[in-house]
């Protein structure tokens, strides 16, 4: 049986989906804008 695909790592999670990562890229900014428009309590990780 193969290992599970999700092996959680706090650093990796923050680096990929964190607030700073989101604000760096153009598409990330778009994501944040959409989430703000939707009134998300949690914008990013």
User: pLDDT of 1-45, one tens digit each?
Assistant: 999 999 999 999 999 999 999 999 999 999 999 999 999 999 999
pTM: predicted TM-score of the whole model, two decimal places = 0.78
pLDDT (0 to 100) of residue 21: 96
Tokens of 27: 């598409």
Q: Which domains does the chain have, with CATH numbers?
A: 11-45 (1.10.287.3980)
Degrees, nearest 5: CA angle 10-5-27: 60
> What is the rounded distance in angstroms from the CA atom of residue 12 to the CA atom of residue 30?
21
Query: Cα–Cα distances in Å, from 24 out to 18, 35, 40?
Result: 10, 16, 20
């Amino acid at each position: 049986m193969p290992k599970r695909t999700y092996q959680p790592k706090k650093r990796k999670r923050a680096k990929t989906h964190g607030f700073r990562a989101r604000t760096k890229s153009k598409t990330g900014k778009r994501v944040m804008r959409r989430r703000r428009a939707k009134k998300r309590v949690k914008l990013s990780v």
